[in-house]
């Protein structure tokens, strides 16, 4: 109820369309204008798998911001937080759309061209015809390539540009009217170095383990679902500010497989050593070796759902496994919940439903909200 109240305060014209709270429709307001929007959440309420539908007009306004909105969907903990982010991005998009129609004084162009020449054209990857959007590239000390998009308004350099980056944390610049693009670029480089340890840790995981999700992680993604074995994996959430500390871990798989892993994690938690790196710590605490990319194919872990016979469903992969060791059939959480819900013999307790596995008839359970 508290979350519903917070959503109502942020977006009073966005209303729930069902009792489960997985569908919302209405309007999002920015700069005194209302834009039609529809939000569909999966049964587990994971925002990263939400579907956003909107009017063609709103879609056109947000066209250049799809990447940042997708990143926000992955990083926001709940719908209220995402709607706050969406309204902020929409405000920026509307302001920049209006700025396109504001005549820019000659000083704007002369100042901007001078800034670009001082910065160096070799750092520029894109400039639009109106000189209002600029994309710059940079390389961090480990050779990773990064991009920053600058949206300039007609009052530049009196007012700073809006900066869009693929970061796991917010990138806020400090700006004074006498500043230039070089100042932003230097702050961008400093921010890249502050995130070096985070990207080192994530790159090691991506390079040495089989990451099941996300399939193509962005630089801003803080989660990884890592394969441990057939139908068993661990989902980790890494703190980008403290990447060498113990991450949040959530195990996925049959109880008889994941329970011993949970016990090892709890018993060995005190052994975590920030000096030896994230991946090695996970190996030591769980007392395992993650399957190597050099030895095992990813297809050994990507088992199709036993109900819909697909691996990916609306962006999600099978994360539920039958507890019977002789069965071990994987399912999408949504598919399993709907299957159990349709059985005459199933029973429900709060948000957990119990019923028979479609393969071995062993009683198994599924959570409505993940």
Let me know if the fold of 106-193 is the same as that of 320-367. no
pLDDT per residue as tens digits for the range 24-43: 888 888 888 888 899 998 88
**Per the structure block, which two tokens stand in for 327?**
């069965």
Helices 278-286 and 196-208, packing angle to 10 deg: 50
pLDDT at 310: 76
Is domain 320-367 classified as CATH 3.30.2130.10? no
- The pLDDT > 90 percentage for the chain reads 35
Other CB atoms within 10 Å distance of the CB of residue 367: 15
Is domain 209-286 classified as CATH 3.90.230.10? no
**Per the structure block, which two tokens stand in for 259?**
């329970």
pLDDT at 30: 86
pLDDT per residue as tens digits for the range 55-64: 878 888 888 8
Would the pLDDT of 2 be above 50?
A: no
CB 28 within 8 A of CB 11: yes
Find the DSSP H helices in 248-296.
Answer: 255-268, 278-286
User: Pick the residue with more confidence: 59 or 197?
Assistant: 197
Provide the pLDDT confidence category of residue 224 given band limits of 50, 70 and 90.
Answer: very high
Torsion 251-257-261-263 (CA) sign:
positive
Provide the pLDDT confidence category of residue 94 given band limits of 50, 70 and 90.
Answer: confident
Would the pLDDT of 368 be above 60?
A: no
pLDDT at 369: 44
pLDDT at 360: 78
pLDDT at 194: 96
pLDDT per residue as tens digits for the range 168-194: 999 989 999 899 999 999 999 999 999
Q: Scanning the structure block, which residue is given the tokens 């980008």?
A: 240
pLDDT at 301: 67
CA distance 364 to 357: 6
CB 230 within 8 A of CB 213: no
Helices 255-268 and 278-286, packing angle to 10 deg: 110
Q: What are the structural domain ranges in the chain? A: 1-100, 106-193, 209-286, 320-367
Query: How many H helices and E strands in the chain?
Result: 10, 17
pLDDT at 370: 42
Any idea what DSSP says for residue 104?
A: P
Burial (Cβ within 10 Å: 0-12, 13-18, ≥19) of residue 235? middle
pLDDT at 366: 65
CA distance 184 to 173: 7
Provide the pLDDT confidence category of residue 364 given band limits of 50, 70 and 90.
Answer: low
pLDDT per residue as tens digits for the range 287-330: 999 987 766 766 666 677 888 877 777 767 787 888 777 777 88
Instruction: Give the contacts of 30 (CB within 8 A, at least 6 positions apart).
Output: 87, 90, 91, 94
- pTM reported for the whole predicted model: 0.64
| Nearest alpha carbon to residue 49 among 355, 333, 338, 353 | 333
Highest CATH level, class, for 106-193: alpha beta
Other CB atoms within 10 Å distance of the CB of residue 39: 24
Would the pLDDT of 103 be above 80?
A: no
pLDDT at 303: 75
Would the pLDDT of 11 be above 60?
A: yes
**What is the average pLDDT across 210-224?**
89
pLDDT at 136: 97
Would the pLDDT of 349 be above 50?
A: yes
**Per the structure block, which two tokens stand in for 11?**
């977006």
The CATH architecture of the domain made up of 1-100 is Roll (3.10)
């Amino acid at each position: 109820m508290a979350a519903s109240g917070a959503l109502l305060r942020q977006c009073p014209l966005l209303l729930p369309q069902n009792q489960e709270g997985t569908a919302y429709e209405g309007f999002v307001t920015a700069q005194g204008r209302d834009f039609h929007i529809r939000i569909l959440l999966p049964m587990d309420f994971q925002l990263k798998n939400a579907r956003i539908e909107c009017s063609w007009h709103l879609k056109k306004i947000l066209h250049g911001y799809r990447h940042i909105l997708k990143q926000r969907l992955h990083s926001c903990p709940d719908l209220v937080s995402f709607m706050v982010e969406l309204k902020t991005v929409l405000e920026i998009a509307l302001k920049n759309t209006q700025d396109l129609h504001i005549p820019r004084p000659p000083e704007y162009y002369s100042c901007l061209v001078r800034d670009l020449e001082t910065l160096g054209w070799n750092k520029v990857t894109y400039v639009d015809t109106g000189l209002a959007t600029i994309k710059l590239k940079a390389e961090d000390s480990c050779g990773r390539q990064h991009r920053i998009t600058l949206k300039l308004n007609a009052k530049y350099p009196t007012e700073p540009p809006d900066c869009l980056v693929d970061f796991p944390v917010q990138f806020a610049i400090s700006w004074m009217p006498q500043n230039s693009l070089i100042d932003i670029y230097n702050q961008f480089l400093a921010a890249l170095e502050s995130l070096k340890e985070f990207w080192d840790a994530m790159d090691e995981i991506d390079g040495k383990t089989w990451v099941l999700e996300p399939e193509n992680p962005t630089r801003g993604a803080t989660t990884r679902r890592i394969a441990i074995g057939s139908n068993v994996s661990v989902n980790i959430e890494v703190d980008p500010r403290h990447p060498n500390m113990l991450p949040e871990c959530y195990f996925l798989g049959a109880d008889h497989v994941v329970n011993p892993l949970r016990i090892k994690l709890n018993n060995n938690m005190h052994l975590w050593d920030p000096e030896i790196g994230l991946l090695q710590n996970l190996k030591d605490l769980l007392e395992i070796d993650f399957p190597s990319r050099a030895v095992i194919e990813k297809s050994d872990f990507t088992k199709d759902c036993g109900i819909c016979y697909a691996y990916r469903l609306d962006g999600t992969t099978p994360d539920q496994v039958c507890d019977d060791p002789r069965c071990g059939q994987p399912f999408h959480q949504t598919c399993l919940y709907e299957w159990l819900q349709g059985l005459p013999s199933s029973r429900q307790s709060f948000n957990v439903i119990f019923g028979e596995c479609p393969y071995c008839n062993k009683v198994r359970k599924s959570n409505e909200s993940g």
